[in-house]
Amino acid sequence: MPVSDSQTRVCPTRIDHAPALFTHKVNEGTCQDRQRGRYHKCYTCAYNNAYVAARGLPEVATREPKPVVEVKEPRTVRVSELLPLRAI
């Protein structure tokens, strides 16, 4: 039976809201299985049972795309502009 997006969680959903390098969509059962198996990412997850007991379930936030950062062209520096090296 297919699972809808409303029944899935992003694993891990970090407590500090930092983006995780690798994430997976898992259902609640898989999340609980990973916690029972001491999955290495569960300790910093907002769905961790201890964290949820103390603070409640995390709000599912929609992430806005990051703004595009303007990249400046590299500037050329002449050797005469550099600080002189000194012997120690």
Tell me, what's the pLDDT at 54? 92
Q: Are 48 and 56 in contact (CB under 8 A)?
A: no
Residue 14 forms beta bridges with which residues? 45
Looking at residue 43, its pLDDT comes to 83
Handedness of CA 27, 33, 36, 38 (dihedral sign): negative
* Number of domains making up the chain: 1
Residue 9 lies in a domain: yes
| Series of mean pLDDT values for 10-residue runs along the chain (88 residues) | 71 86 88 88 87 85 61 81 73
- Does residue 65 fall inside a structural domain? no
pLDDT value at position 17?
83
**pTM for the structure as a whole:** 0.57
Query: Which residues constitute the domain of residue 38?
Result: 1-56
Q: Is residue 43 part of a domain?
A: yes
Which neighbouring-strand residues pair with 26?
A: 9
79 is a domain residue: no
Cα angle 42, 47, 51 (rounded to 5 degrees) comes to 85
User: Quick one: pLDDT at residue 63?
Assistant: 52
49: number of Cβ within 10 Å: 13
